[in-house]
Amino acid sequence: MPVFPIHTRDKHPTILVVDDDLSVLGLVKLMLECGDYNVLIADSGNEAIRLAEQTDLQIDMILVDVVMPDVKGPDLAERILGMRPRIKVLFMSGFADAEVVCVKVLERALGFLPKPFTSAGLLACVKNALARPALRAAAGSNVLDFSAGTS
């Protein structure tokens, strides 16, 4: 799947959106671009990893679907955080039950967007998350133990 834009403008934050649903990707991309963000899209965990590995790409935040066929969103976020510890993480999901929105997911993210969401809700959540320090950078460590205190 082609990803646009490849080269981003440095003055606007860049968000990597990861979702297996192409209609969601297109809509979220449009909403974020209307909010003056640069947007990269990936329809799989592998594509997101490929983009995160490109050191010439500026990526300030990832917005990741929690449930995808090839990878769980929290696991993907963990892999990307291993490469880019200062990146900010937001999760989204259409499955907002207790199993999906658990402490383990929220510990890894600066926010959670239940689907469906409005453009205003998305932009507010992104703005708030970008204003906060990344969890890894704030913790002063490249490694966090997310298993402590979870069952």
Of 70, 78, 19, 76, the closest CA to residue 43 belongs to 19
Residue 132 pLDDT > 80? yes
Pick the CATH number of 14-139 from 3.40.50.1820, 3.50.50.60, 3.40.50.2300, 3.90.650.10: 3.40.50.2300
Count each helix (H run) and each strand (E run) in the chain, helices first: 6, 5
The per-residue pLDDT for range 44-72, each reduced to its tens digit, is 999 999 999 999 999 999 999 988 999 98
Kindly indicate the confidence band of residue 135, based on its pLDDT and cuts at 50, 70 and 90: low
Can you tell me the distance from the alpha carbon of 93 to that of 90, in angstroms, rounded to the nearest whole number?
Answer: 10
Give the span between the Cα atoms of 61 and 66, in whole angstroms: 15
pLDDT of residue 51: 98
- 72: which DSSP letter? B
Q: How far apart are CA 110 and CA 125, in angstroms?
A: 9
- At 32 the three-state DSSP class reads helix
| Residue 12, burial from CB neighbour count under 10 angstroms (0-12, 13-18, 19+) | middle
Q: How far, in Å, CA of 102 to CA of 8, rounded? A: 34
pTM: 0.80
Q: Where are the domains of the chain?
A: 14-139
> By the 8 A CB rule, do 130 and 60 touch?
yes
Kindly tell me if the per-residue pLDDT of 142 is higher than 50.
no
